[in-house]
A and B are shown apart, each in its own frame.
Chain A
Amino acid sequence: LAKTTQPISMDSYEGQEVNITCSHNNIATNDYITWYQQFPSQGPRFIIQGYKTKVTNEVASLFIPADRKSSTLSLPRVSLSDTAVYYCLVGDAWGGGGKLIFGQGTELSVKP
C-alpha cells in the first residue's frame, strides 16, 4: 500500500487559490489518487479522484504529473467554509478490497 506525505497545516485567506501537494513515491500501476475533506465531528467527504494528468469538478482540480509520484489538489477562491482537514489517499482501484491509507492530512485554515 502506497504511503502518502502531505503538509501538516496550511494557512490561506478568503478568495485565494490553495494548492495542497501530496507525495506518494511508491504508487502502483493500479492505484488511483483520491482526496477527501473532513470537518470537525463529521465523517470525511469525497472531493475528487484521478489517475493521471488533470481532473476538474465543480469544487476542485487535481493535477497529477506523468510519473504520478505526487499530486496537487487545487481549491479555487477558498472561503471560510473551506477550513477543514484534507486527506490524500492512494489505493488499488481493481483489487485489495478498496483498502486505503489515511495519513494525518493537511489542516487548512482560511482566514478572512
Chain B
Amino acid sequence: NAGVTQTPKFRILKIGQSMTLQCTQDMNHNYMYWYRQDPGMGLKLIYYSVGAGITDKGEVPNGYNVSRSTTEDFPLRLELAAPSQTSVYFCASSYSTGGEQYFGPGTRLTVT
C-alpha cells in the first residue's frame, strides 16, 4: 500500500492564481482531512470528509474548497491565492472518526 499520497511536493504561486492540491489514499478509508501547518505551529484543520459526497468545514476553511467524488481522492482547491496561504499542507485519512490518522508527506506552498 502506498498509504496517503500528495502532489505536488512543492509549488510557488503568484497572488491571485489558483491551484488544486491532490490527495489520494489506497486504504479504503471513509474519513479524509486537509490540514495546514504554519512554521513553528501545530496543524489546523481546513476541511474534512466523512465519505464520498460529504464534506464539512474545519477551523480555517476560508479561501479553500474541497470535493469528494470518490473514496480515494480528496482534492483541495485554492482560489485567488494570497500570501497568508503560504504554508505546508497535509492530507490525512482514517478508518474511523476517532481512529488513527495516516498523513501524507505534505505539499509546501509559497504564495508571492
Contact = CB atoms under 8 A, between A and B. Distances in A.
Nearest to A95: B97
Contact of B56 (A44, A46, A94, A97): A97
B98 A93 contact: yes
B58 to A, nearest CB: 6
Interface residues of A, number: 26
> How would you classify the secondary structure of chain B's contact residues: helix, strand, loop or mixed?
strand
A101 B33 CA distance: 12
Contacts of A102: 35, 42-45
B56 A98 contact: no
Nearest to A98: B97
**Which size bracket describes the interface of B in this complex?**
20 to 34
A43 interface: yes
Given A43-B90, A92-B98, A99-B48, A104 B105 contact: no
A96 B105 CA distance: 25
Contact of A93 (B42, B44, B92, B97): B97
- Top 10 closest pairs, chain A to chain B, by CB: A43-B103, A93-B98, A102-B42, A102-B43, A46-B100, A98-B97, A43-B90, A32-B98, A97-B50, A98-B31
Interface of A: 32, 34, 36, 41-46, 49, 87, 91-105
